[in-house]
Chains A and B, each alone.
Chain A
């Protein structure tokens, strides 16, 4: 028996969301009294992989085939299923991130395993069955799913738990996923990525702007603070729709879901569709001229005031704070 976590490496580093998945896998293994094993597909640095030991992974199965450097859901499903077999895993854990969202349901079918997507807490075991809590109705409620199948697949909502790092080091073993050319279908033609920027879904701090900022020329009110904080930037749909900001910044029901530790909303009314994408944030700060703006009902801290006046002050006060700490 074992718990297998699927871990992704991007630009030489283990993805933050994957560290969370590996930690979740280790905690689950601990509860089951079994070993935590991870699988990594594609070329990666063995030293970096060994650091998974810090979140409790004993062994990393590494399929270093260059053909696996790019995500191909069908080939990846075969490879991870083979790793689950090799490790004797009953539970497979992935992140509910872009690739995990597609890989997990495929694996569920391949392994005939009940699957719970987007878990927000560790599973509870009761005999052979597991209960897993997830958010439903765009964050307006939660549901506990029971999975009674012998094998189980769980994906973890990014930023739902904070991995505690210890001192361990994982052993890295070469793993042959035994794939053939016919298992690959996806040809990558190009990647368009802003390097050096924090992906919004992985960010711990987010500063977000809405139509209240009046126009793209005023976005320094958002970006200056974000830069100072080391935060990612986001926006409302209304803003992305008129091209004041790029579409990949749009959060909400029809955009990205984010769960940062801190979400600062500037000039955003807080429509229910917007809240659906941000209400998992740990702390929400709202700056809005209208004391009746619905966002205040979902906020932890609020300032009723003009963003053009308030935001420069926030920046100034934060700079003072940073200098003093």
Chain B
């Protein structure tokens, strides 16, 4: 089985968020970048588990600059066999999806697994777009994935519960928590990652359909109103009269 896992590079959750150039650009000053958590912990690890059990190959693809090398090597250390980096600025989801779809077309994957959304733009776009570009079925918010005889059995989240579905491969899956347990790369993996192939390819000329015009930060930090623990009635009064939420 041949599996493709697209990986994104995002600011670490604890990063301080700021903007420059009149609030039109994200400031990377002092920001540490990591592999998008749902891509790493769930999509990539589950892909590696399936390969280790059933044989095949796991390829990771990243659309972005050379500074993503560390993240790509980490994915290889976790267990991917080889990597492709499309050398371009990933500023629009459609553009990114078009690069991934073009690569996928040339390689005949049985399965493409993405994370559910990136923690920077929280957009949840690339998996669905890749599926549509390739005219493939896609199931999102997947918590469980088993493959047998070319059929994927999945559990996906619905409002207030879960749904179990079956879909024939090839297929695109958007992974979320519970799909796998995060892995910490071991020494052997890290050493091995250095010699695994990383191909750098040029981007195709897909258009960009959206752009960010401005960013803004929340007005100002909230001022908490403290209520004495022996005067809980006051909390109820405030929630009713001032906040008007009950």
Q: Which residues of A contact B178 (CB under 8 A)?
A: 247
Which residue of chain A lies nearest to B157 when distances are taken between CB atoms in the complex?
A: A98
Is A199 within 8 A of B159, CB to CB? yes
B202 touches A (CB below 8 Å): no
Q: Which residues of A contact B93 (CB under 8 A)?
A: 105, 115
Partner of B159, one of A10, A110, A186, A247: A10
Cα–Cα, bound, A1→B240 (Å): 44
Which of A19-27, A42-50, A169-177, A294-302 sits within the interface?
A: A294-302
A114 touches B (CB below 8 Å): yes
B65 touches A (CB below 8 Å): no
Is A102 within 8 A of B235, CB to CB? no
Also in contact, A98 and B141, with CB within 8 A (given A285-B235, A301-B227, A309-B229): yes
Cα–Cα, bound, A293→B63 (Å): 39
Q: How far is the CB of A90 from chain B (nearest CB, A)?
A: 14
* Chain B stretch 102-133: residues in CB contact (< 8 A) with chain A: 117, 119-129, 131-133
Contact mask A7-18 → B, CB, 8 Å, 1/0? 000100001010
Contact mask B26-49 → A, CB, 8 Å, 1/0? 000000000001100000000000
Contact mask A86-111 → B, CB, 8 Å, 1/0? 00000000001111011111111110
* Chain A stretch 67-94: residues in CB contact (< 8 A) with chain B: 70, 72-74, 77
Contact mask A39-67 → B, CB, 8 Å, 1/0? 00000000000000000000000000000
Contact mask A164-205 → B, CB, 8 Å, 1/0? 000000000000000000000111111111100111111001
A268 touches B (CB below 8 Å): no
Is B132 within 8 A of A105, CB to CB? yes
Which residue of chain B lies nearest to A106 when distances are taken between CB atoms in the complex?
A: B132
B187 touches A (CB below 8 Å): no
Cα–Cα, bound, A192→B163 (Å): 6
Which residue of chain A lies nearest to B42 when distances are taken between CB atoms in the complex?
A: A254
Q: How far is the CB of B17 from chain A (nearest CB, A)?
A: 5
Which residue of chain B lies nearest to A279 when distances are taken between CB atoms in the complex?
A: B218
A272 touches B (CB below 8 Å): yes
Q: How many A-B residue pairs have CB under 8 A?
A: 267
Q: How far is the CB of B175 from chain A (nearest CB, A)?
A: 12
Q: How far is the CB of B238 from chain A (nearest CB, A)?
A: 6
Contact mask A242-260 → B, CB, 8 Å, 1/0? 0000011010011101000
Q: Which residues of A contact B157 (CB under 8 A)?
A: 98, 248
Also in contact, A115 and B165, with CB within 8 A (given A98-B158, A136-B122): no
Is B210 within 8 A of A142, CB to CB? no
A239 touches B (CB below 8 Å): no
Q: List 14 A-B contacts (CB under 8 A).
A: A101-B140, A105-B125, A118-B124, A137-B17, A199-B159, A205-B245, A205-B246, A285-B235, A297-B221, A300-B225, A300-B243, A304-B229, A310-B229, A317-B236
Leading 10 A-B pairs by shortest Cβ distance:
A193-B161, A305-B229, A105-B128, A185-B137, A114-B209, A199-B160, A109-B132, A199-B159, A102-B140, A106-B132
Which B residues are closer than 8 A to A by beta carbons?
Answer: 11, 13-14, 17, 19, 37-38, 93-94, 97, 117, 119-129, 131-133, 135-141, 153, 157-168, 171, 174, 177-178, 209-218, 221-222, 224-229, 232-233, 235-236, 238-240, 243, 245-246
